[in-house]
Chains A and B, each alone.
Chain A
Amino acid sequence: MRDGAPQLQAYRIATAGPGSRAALAIACMILILLAVLPAFAGRNLIQDLIFLFYMLALAQCWNLLAGYAGLISVGQQAFVGLGGYILFALTLLAGLDPLLAIPLAGVASAVFALPTALVVFRLRGAYFAIGSWVVAEVYRLVFAQFKGLGGGTGTSLVPSITSNVLGIEWVKSMFDVRTPAARDIISYWAALALMATTLGFVYVVLRSRRGLALGAIRDQEAAAAGLGVDIYRLKLAVYVATAAVTGMVGALIYLQKARISPDAAFSVLDWTAYVIFIVVIGGIGTIEGPLIGAIIFYLLQRYLADFGAWYLILLGTLAITVMLFAPRGLWGFVAERYGVTLFPTRRRLVSGAGKGKGG
């Protein structure tokens, strides 16, 4: 500061909040722990975690779509089913290794998402929601026509495919397990990798310039357009990117299940309703929300799913209650009250000159 000049307060822009650097370190440690978990954990826990990981990946995708890009889709099951069916086609009909088929299913989903978007983007807001559902039904009915993949009744992966996944011999000798358990371990790693990549991808996107634009769309679409955000292109990019990830998750889900049918693969309840409930109960428009929501959902599913219809009635009631009384979800409630954030994406002005740079 020069003498005589008015005292200027220096500011810098920071994204990290209290606890967030520690959270990053803890997240890395948890990730490493999860990666070596198959060495100690039983098969049931591994299977439960596969379920948790893929639901979480789906939830992060839907959160990016609905919570940021304003695309409230009720048709994401289209890409879960598509990914699953492409995995089956590539392995059963083309003889490809399932682990290679997963990324290809992602590419194919993105390719299908583009023309799909051109049609459903003609509908806005709530109409987009039902339009995306119609498209998912079209996918379901079309795949039911493919006799090579079992038509309406579906088909199974033959054991020679599922037992010869890349690296399975290594896992068998490394952990001294039989083939089914080794299959689960490979699926587990694939699910963990997919979940961690999705989480990292969403985090990086939201901290980037595009993330700022997405936040602007979330808060006020007209104002964002006024400030020069190309809304159509950004929404299209988010739609296609989440379709790719959703397709890969779908491929993984059906590799693990080893049996596919149109009604299950394109199920609105399993792949969209549950996912929406996870995001809304946890807290939409945050990265932490789906994480909390997925864990709550996993616990509910584990302990209450036997109640069947009553369980679903309870889940619906819970989602409606949260939407009415805590629209920002459980995490929104915690974050507001204690000011904590684990995955900081908001830019805040911090007083005092510093070395920090805008994220």
Chain B
Amino acid sequence: MTGWLDALIQGILLGGLYALFAAGLSLIFGVMRLVNLAHGDLIVLAAFIILLLAEKLGLDPFAAVLVAAPVLFTIGFALQYALLNRTLGRDLLPPLLVTFGLSIMIQNGLLQLFSADSERLRSGAIETASIALGGGIAIGVVPLLTLLSAIAVIVVLNLIFYRTPLGRAFRAASDDLEVAQLMGIDHNRIFATAMGLAFVVIAIAALYLGLRANFDPTIGPARLLYAFEAVIIGGLGSFWGTLAGGIVLGLAQTVGARIDPEWQILSGHLAFLVVLGLRPRGLFPRAVD
């Protein structure tokens, strides 16, 4: 019984990580209907940037992410402004192909620069610290921080979307791009800002990716799939839905792993397909698309 309860708790905490992966994807889809196939590889890229900063500047990863965030915001802004904005339009193929090409370029670029070795972000005692809940169940501090950070990211994103002029512009561009343009919104800048913001979320996701487990240049695509599944399970257009989707996915994986360790990833995918079969618009749908 304790084992199952433990699996449930670990599943919810793992869901926090998947929600962080998914929040950036959800954000850029919400604003500009862009499905970024390089999202997972960008998370891995960010993890390597944090690693590099931590090593070169002698910083703790939690401090390195503060340095990495503005750098990543700039990269995201530039990427959207210079490249991805050109691909947006009625045709679906250009954004998909360009981000798919980027995904392969990032993977192989990282492979060339950092080799295929597994890396990890080191942060001293906090990595292994845990809080005993009694009854033989303990929760790790890092997994707990991951979930709390996911909640914080979603609260902040909701505040930006619904309480600021920038968020109003995001929602306007999302609802009706042409009318938004007529109202004087420079959609190229708005989209680039949204991508910059998504890259900051990616930096936070990368921090916990690197603290919780090993990473190497090839693991990006699997992270993209988890992020995508969390978004679809939760329902498009709602950040809280994305959190719920991440938790459903995390639970499915840990419960599957509890039955047979080899089934962890498979049971996550199957949970996604079941939700898709029963509720194609996700558990908490908002957007119509």
How distant is the Cα of A316 from the Cα of B109 in the complex, in angstroms? Answer: 11
| A49, CB-defined interface residue at 8 Å | no
How distant is the Cα of A130 from the Cα of B83 in the complex, in angstroms? Answer: 21
Residues of A within 8 A of B91 (CB): 327
The answer on a CB contact under 8 Å between A312 and B104 is: yes
Chain A stretch 239-289: residues in CB contact (< 8 A) with chain B: 268-269, 273, 276-277, 280, 284
How distant is the Cα of A280 from the Cα of B140 in the complex, in angstroms? Answer: 47
Residues of A within 8 A of B280 (CB): 122-123
The answer on a CB contact under 8 Å between B104 and A130 is: no
Q: Given A273-B104, A324-B86 in contact, is the A313-B96 Cβ separation under 8 Å?
A: no
The answer on a CB contact under 8 Å between A269 and B94 is: no
Q: Which of B66-74, B172-180, B266-274 contacts A (4 or more CB under 8 A)?
A: B266-274
The answer on a CB contact under 8 Å between B269 and A130 is: no
| B216, CB-defined interface residue at 8 Å | no
Q: Which of B153-161, B203-211, B224-232 contacts A (4 or more CB under 8 A)?
A: B224-232
Q: Which residue of B lies closest to A141 (CB)?
A: B266
Residues of A within 8 A of B269 (CB): 134, 137-138, 141
The answer on a CB contact under 8 Å between A126 and B97 is: no
State how many residues of chain A have any CB contact under 8 Å with chain B. 43
How distant is the Cα of A119 from the Cα of B97 in the complex, in angstroms? Answer: 23
Q: Which residue of A lies closest to B225 (CB)?
A: A134
Q: Given A268-B221, A309-B111, A319-B97 in contact, is the A127-B105 Cβ separation under 8 Å?
A: no
Chain A stretch 170-212: residues in CB contact (< 8 A) with chain B: none
| B101, CB-defined interface residue at 8 Å | yes
How distant is the Cα of A144 from the Cα of B86 in the complex, in angstroms? Answer: 41
Q: How far is the CB of A75 from chain B (nearest CB, A)?
A: 11
Q: Could you say which of B87, B111, B222, B229 contacts A323, with CB atoms under 8 Å apart?
A: B87
Chain A stretch 33-71: residues in CB contact (< 8 A) with chain B: 66, 70
SS of B interface (majority): helix
| A291, CB-defined interface residue at 8 Å | no
State how many residues of chain B have any CB contact under 8 Å with chain A. 41
How distant is the Cα of A308 from the Cα of B108 in the complex, in angstroms? Answer: 9
Residues of B within 8 A of A214 (CB): none
Q: Could you say which of A133, A144, A319 contacts B225, with CB atoms under 8 Å apart?
A: A133
Interface-centre pick from B95, B96, B107 (highest chain A CB count, 10 A): B96
| B92, CB-defined interface residue at 8 Å | yes
Q: How far is the CB of B41 from chain A (nearest CB, A)?
A: 11
Residues of B within 8 A of A280 (CB): 93, 97
Q: How far is the CB of B50 from chain A (nearest CB, A)?
A: 22
Q: Which residue of A lies closest to B90 (CB)?
A: A220
| A86, CB-defined interface residue at 8 Å | no
Interface 1/0 per residue, B36-55 and A, CB below 8 Å: 01000000000000000000
The answer on a CB contact under 8 Å between A134 and B272 is: yes
How distant is the Cα of A339 from the Cα of B111 in the complex, in angstroms? Answer: 43
Q: Could you say which of B93, B105, B266 contacts A72, with CB atoms under 8 Å apart?
A: B93
The answer on a CB contact under 8 Å between B224 and A309 is: no
Chain B stretch 269-289: residues in CB contact (< 8 A) with chain A: 269-270, 272-273, 276-277, 280, 289
Residues of B within 8 A of A153 (CB): none
The answer on a CB contact under 8 Å between B108 and A126 is: no
Q: Given A119-B277, A122-B276 in contact, is the A145-B262 Cβ separation under 8 Å?
A: yes
| A125, CB-defined interface residue at 8 Å | yes
The answer on a CB contact under 8 Å between B105 and A134 is: no
The answer on a CB contact under 8 Å between B87 and A126 is: no
Q: Which residue of B lies closest to A321 (CB)?
A: B101
List 15 A-B residue pairs with CB atoms under 8 Å apart, sorted by A's residue number: A122-B277, A126-B92, A127-B232, A130-B225, A131-B276, A137-B222, A137-B225, A138-B273, A276-B97, A276-B100, A308-B108, A310-B108, A313-B108, A316-B101, A323-B94
Beyond A124-B289, A129-B35, A277-B101, 19 additional pairs, beta carbon < 8 A? A72-B93, A74-B37, A119-B276, A125-B35, A126-B96, A129-B96, A130-B225, A131-B232, A134-B269, A138-B273, A141-B269, A276-B97, A308-B108, A309-B109, A313-B104, A316-B104, A319-B97, A320-B83, A323-B87
Question: A-side interface residues toward B, CB under 8 Å?
Answer: 66, 70, 72, 74, 119, 122-127, 129-131, 133-135, 137-138, 141-142, 144-145, 268-269, 273, 276-277, 280, 284, 308-310, 312-313, 315-317, 319-320, 323-324, 327
Closest 7 CB pairs of A and B: A126-B35, A309-B108, A316-B101, A316-B105, A122-B280, A141-B266, A320-B101
